[in-house]
Amino acid sequence: MSIPKIEIAKGVKIPQVGLGLWLVRKDEDVERSVGAALEAGYRHFDTAQIYGNEGKLAKALEDRGIKREDVFIATKIWIVNFAPLLTIPSFNRSLKRLKTDYVDLLLLHFPVTLLRNHAWKELEKIHQDGGAKAIGVSNFTVKHLKELLANCDVVPAVNQVELHVYLQQPELVEYCREQGIVLEAYSPLAHGYGMDNPVLQKLADKHGKTSAQIMLRWCVEQGAIVLPKSKQADRVLSNIDIFDFKLDEADMAELKGLDSDHRTCWDPTHVI
Ligand SMILES: NC(=O)c1ccc[n+]([C@@H]2O[C@H](COP(=O)([O-])OP(=O)(O)OC[C@H]3O[C@@H](n4cnc5c(N)ncnc54)[C@H](OP(=O)(O)O)[C@@H]3O)[C@@H](O)[C@H]2O)c1
């Protein structure tokens, strides 16, 4: 199945769906999930230092003879590595685990108080030296982004945040759009929450899709990159089968009604 690409920085195109790898730790789970994803047509993988699977991802790609230039790899600097002098060495260890000399996208995992702007400068250096084709942030609110934009030389290419029908974050979506920062929707299936909602089921019936596919398509309608995770091969496949239909205005209006500020992961809104 072919997945559209979005340009996130000059010359850097990212497949609009990537395989999320959070909590996919066991060798056999990484193996199955990445294997099913490659077979289905995924070429974008979202890992992080803290996920503990950078090396396992590299092995799964290597075992299948996948060429480095044929996949888009994103990883994230974990919060303890925001400390001065730790960021770049920690990134070099990530590269070693990933068996590559560059990543396609490198993110700051969280807007750590007092350290985030310094850590961003380190990412700018990595970017300048060619270690990361694009750099971005994760879990940044409008407040954190405004502060960063006032201090940075490179505008983040993306902001990876929790985004789904139950957490629609219209203010953040609008702000990122205005600033040209592409959103990446993590936990786009709300980690499995509320899939039996009648509105989702009605729209699933209308479009001949599943509730999960309606949730993922809602993210696509926001212009976001989508990062679903599944350890099951059939779901990995169905999670990219979302580009042969559209949600119309009436569908989107109904889905607006599901917005309930429901977070499944961490809440950065109180981070000063
Ligand atoms: N930057 C950050 O701070 C951050 C935080 C959280 C997540 N993320 C990224 O976002 C990715 C995805 O988020 P997530 O893992 O929280 O959750 P998610 O993709 O919203 O949901 C995953 C859950 O949904 C189930 N599922 C997957 N596909 C399904 C389908 N088609 N139908 C029904 N259930 C389905 C999975 O179970 P099965 O495995 O059994 O299918 C799993 O329990 C992560 O892996 C990570 O890459 C980033």
CATH number at residue 64: 3.20.20.100
User: Does some domain include residue 209?
Assistant: yes
CA 84–ligand 1 middle distance (angstroms): 32
Pocket test for ligand 1, best of 187, 200, 237 (most atoms within 8 A of CB): 187
Domain that holds residue 156: 10-264
Which residue in 133, 54, 134 sits closest to 93, CA to CA? 54
Catalogue the E-assigned strands of the chain: 5-9, 12-15, 19-20, 44-46, 72-77, 103-108, 132-138, 158-162, 182-186, 225-227
Which residue in 58, 38, 143, 148 sits closest to 103, CA to CA? 58
User: Does some domain include residue 1?
Assistant: no
* Total tally of structural domains belonging to the chain: 1
User: Does some domain include residue 272?
Assistant: no
Question: Which atom of ligand 1 is least distant from the CA of 229?
Answer: 19
pLDDT recorded at residue 183: 98
> Residues near 124 by Cβ (< 8 Å), separated by ≥ 6?
135, 152, 153, 154
What is the SS3 assignment for 146? helix
Question: Which atom of ligand 1 is least distant from the CA of 107?
Answer: 1
Q: Tell me the C-alpha distance between 246 and 207, whole Å.
A: 9
pLDDT recorded at residue 231: 86
Using CA positions, which residue lies closest to atom 32 of ligand 1? 212
Using CA positions, which residue lies closest to atom 9 of ligand 1? 186
User: Does some domain include residue 269?
Assistant: no
Q: Which residue has the tokens 């994230």?
A: 76
User: Does some domain include residue 271?
Assistant: no
CA 22–ligand 1 middle distance (angstroms): 8
Active-site positions read 51
User: Does some domain include residue 2?
Assistant: no
With the CA atoms of 80, 189, 16 and 61 taken in that order, what torsion angle do they form, in degrees rounded to the nearest 10? 60
Pocket test for ligand 1, best of 51, 165, 186, 266 (most atoms within 8 A of CB): 186
pLDDT recorded at residue 36: 95
User: Does some domain include residue 30?
Assistant: yes
User: Does some domain include residue 136?
Assistant: yes
Q: Tell me the C-alpha distance between 185 and 231, whole Å.
A: 18
* pLDDT tens by residue, the chain, 272 residues: 789 999 999 999 999 999 999 989 999 999 999 999 999 999 999 999 999 999 999 999 999 999 999 999 999 999 999 998 999 999 999 999 999 999 999 999 999 999 999 999 999 999 999 999 999 999 999 999 999 999 999 999 999 999 999 999 999 999 999 999 999 999 999 999 999 999 999 999 999 999 999 999 999 999 999 999 998 999 999 999 999 999 999 999 999 999 999 999 999 999 99
